Structure 1
């Protein structure tokens, strides 16, 4: 109960950060039936300039948020960066899957040595994706030193994003310095419109922040759902059924809470619905994903047997008309391979509350012999309830501190004041 109240209060704080020109959808004016129409409108293409919330996201994503692909304004630099990212993430599906299997096996061999091991799933998967994206970028196995730097950086970013800890710029800077020595070693050309320093920040923000964090979060949700629905876990070798499990996981636990866009021109959907230029449009993924389904808050992969993800209220990777996630193809391939490698070795059990934000990082028991550790599951449930109470208070306090600090630094606002001639659509 307390956690839900804190989440609601944090949402109100973020709305205040955005100011009076922020509007969240779906709402009474633009319902779920027109959600994607508005999201895909050509004038809903501003990303950072003019939104109060941008100062907060830039604060969390530093260093280099000004060249982060998701926060670049539309134009030649965005096109150049997006093209480079697509090149790095491309490749034969079999090779992408084999790399995920190999990296998962390596980390599990190192980290899981007991018959029953308590893990936090997000923490378990971060080294996997650090290894994986290092290989995609550099075309060679990841040294342990580099893996530790990547995991330390990515964990610091997501911990501050979830307001369970403050950010540590010095920790992030260690990875920046390492990547600066490796620019000549990447597998593909880096964006030509970026300076060498910006290219370092591009690598750090795209592959060793966003990619590692989002894949680790996605796997934590997927494995936790399978731990709590063993009947689904037993069928993941079926490619078609696994696709249903993944669709349902992303529907119920979307990685994005709210994506915001700034209108660069007036948008008139009809004679009664107009949004002036400079409006901040906030697209609420969980609310949208909860519309158009029977029993929307239940985990039910079977619903996809008769429902097409293409036509349902389901946009786990965004929409094609407005900056879809560049890993929309890679992610399902790699997650399927990693999941099967985990389940080949262990049965999963968890008694914790599964929420979209998952600040608990996904407590779970990995069991080698297939037994059910009931006593440990009871203790896990009690511990989770207690952690939920104090963690909610921590999130509220630290979230408020960081909102105020970000407002004082004004990273995005100052950048655009200084670069008036750049990043203009």
Structure 2
């Protein structure tokens, strides 16, 4: 009996070391089983990293949503309006119309885009950093920054606090459900939809919206592209960047002296912690790679950014910005913004400018310190201590130790929560079948289609 008690106690005490990884593996199996796609993940034994970009950029690897069970899951997480989210629109005139609008809203002189990022960052830091040491979660710190930033880009005016709260509430709900640490809250998302509907109806958007979309679709397009994906991805990018600097103070010190070093730091951050784990595409025709390998039409191709990035550099698990001093672009295996042949991220120009400006302002005002686990998915949001410039607080080591222990135990319960809530949401998305039902009644341009009723013979067979 006492042995059982000892073993149970040992299992509990060592749980932070073994339980999260086991739960992550189990969650992956649940997702794979419920999704039901005959998916092919790259790179693999037949298509290695040397051909990864060839397949990714193939003209037939251009399906976005129709025909993949994975689409039902992503549409579920990205609601409302996933059918007009730029990332999930099928190729065609409607996508071209939407993409033109996105590029127009993201455009502007580099100095203007950078200055806006610095201004928004400083406003938020003024609110948050009120003492010598401030404990934050980096994603939560940065989300109001990018909420204000993209509000200015879309409406060409400062973001009211009430609007910022709506945007942050919506974006936070999306990212927390994506990471399976919380269920969706459609009512919270709908509050932002109503605000944007009023602004669109009043003609407040600084560029004409896609004429191919209905007024409701225009609202959903803005909400999904700018106040969901843009805010979430930029907040995630900044969380990874600042957490990496917090855990590599020599890199932060060099960056503070030489801002030109930023490009290497950003490249290394995006190499180790790409914002996308898996990007999926559906083949619209057969892809013949060689005499032995053909990817049939309708295949779901899953491109693993972390696996691909890990194959292009020696010591891939080591954070080393210096590796980008003299990179071999052909061997680097680095696609932080996707590939040019298959819809690269529309913010590929804006993002580095804005991230550089925001990072400069953060490092000018605080020094980040953190001892937590840094993973690509970062479900913790990146707990971090911000030490105000010029301060030398006592007890920083003790605070770091507290952060480390708290993070390890949070990871235990969080992994269990992710398994339970992730399974619930995957099953719910599978039952709702949002993408599948949409394409049952619409073509790829969003036009309703009439389905002929089955013949008597078909019914009886």
TM above 0.5, yes or no, is yes
The correspondence for 1:353, drawn from 356, 373, 392, is 373
Decide whether the 8 Å contact of 2:312 with 2:331 is kept in 1.
no
Find out whether 1:107 has 2:103 as its counterpart.
no
* Inter-partner Cα distance in structure 1 for 2:35 and 2:302: 10
1:87 deviates by 0.5
2:231 corresponding residue in structure 1:
212
The correspondence for 2:253, drawn from 223, 229, 234, is 234
* Inter-partner Cα distance in structure 2 for 1:189 and 1:146: 21
Q: Secondary structure at the match of 1:366?
A: strand
* Inter-partner Cα distance in structure 1 for 2:19 and 2:444: 47
The equivalences for 1:365-384 within 5 A come to: 365-368=385-388, 369-371=390-392, 373-384=396-407
**Residues 391 and 201 of structure 1: CA distance in aligned 2, closer, same or farther (over 3 Å):** same
2:11 corresponding residue in structure 1:
none
Decide whether the 8 Å contact of 1:74 with 1:423 is kept in 2.
no
Decide whether the 8 Å contact of 1:157 with 1:209 is kept in 2.
yes
1:21 corresponding residue in structure 2:
38
1:112 deviates by 1.5
1:142 corresponding residue in structure 2:
159
Decide whether the 8 Å contact of 1:292 with 1:312 is kept in 2.
yes
Decide whether the 8 Å contact of 1:119 with 1:366 is kept in 2.
yes
The Cα RMSD (Å) is: 1.3
Q: Secondary structure at the match of 2:50?
A: coil
Residue deviations 1:356-392, cap 9 Å, x none? Answer: 0000000000001353611100000010000000000
Find out whether 1:11 has 2:24 as its counterpart.
no
1:90 corresponding residue in structure 2:
107
Decide whether the 8 Å contact of 1:346 with 1:370 is kept in 2.
no
Q: Secondary structure at the match of 1:5?
A: helix
* Inter-partner Cα distance in structure 1 for 2:444 and 2:229: 28
* Inter-partner Cα distance in structure 2 for 1:371 and 1:378: 17
The correspondence for 2:437, drawn from 398, 414, 425, is 414
The correspondence for 2:87, drawn from 51, 64, 70, is 70
* Inter-partner Cα distance in structure 2 for 1:15 and 1:244: 36
Decide whether the 8 Å contact of 1:153 with 1:209 is kept in 2.
yes
* Inter-partner Cα distance in structure 2 for 1:151 and 1:36: 35
The correspondence for 2:271, drawn from 216, 240, 251, is 251
2:452 corresponding residue in structure 1:
none
* Inter-partner Cα distance in structure 2 for 1:109 and 1:91: 26
* Inter-partner Cα distance in structure 1 for 2:77 and 2:415: 19
1:232 deviates by 0.8
1:240 deviates by 3.1
Q: Secondary structure at the match of 1:70?
A: helix
Residue deviations 1:387-415, cap 9 Å, x none? Answer: 00000000000000000111111110000
2:145 corresponding residue in structure 1:
128
Residue deviations 1:266-309, cap 9 Å, x none? Answer: 00011111011000000000000100211101100011112145
Q: Where do 5+ consecutive residues of structure 1 fail to align? A: none
Decide whether the 8 Å contact of 1:150 with 1:175 is kept in 2.
yes
**Residues 311 and 294 of structure 1: CA distance in aligned 2, closer, same or farther (over 3 Å):** closer
2:52 corresponding residue in structure 1:
35
* Inter-partner Cα distance in structure 2 for 1:160 and 1:272: 41
1:140 deviates by 0.4
Q: Secondary structure at the match of 2:207?
A: coil
Residue deviations 1:318-369, cap 9 Å, x none? Answer: 1011111101110010000000100101111000000000000000000013
* Inter-partner Cα distance in structure 2 for 1:224 and 1:65: 31
Decide whether the 8 Å contact of 2:94 with 2:445 is kept in 1.
no
Find out whether 1:342 has 2:359 as its counterpart.
no
1:423 deviates by 5.4
Residue deviations 1:174-209, cap 9 Å, x none? Answer: 000000000110110111100000000000000000
TM-score (norm 1): 0.98
Find out whether 1:279 has 2:299 as its counterpart.
yes
1:311 deviates by 5.1
TM-score (norm 2): 0.90
Decide whether the 8 Å contact of 1:266 with 1:276 is kept in 2.
yes
Decide whether the 8 Å contact of 1:258 with 1:282 is kept in 2.
yes
Matched length: 424
The equivalences for 1:151-230 within 5 A come to: 151-183=168-200, 184-230=203-249
Q: Secondary structure at the match of 1:399?
A: helix
Q: Secondary structure at the match of 1:299?
A: coil
**Residues 367 and 274 of structure 1: CA distance in aligned 2, closer, same or farther (over 3 Å):** same
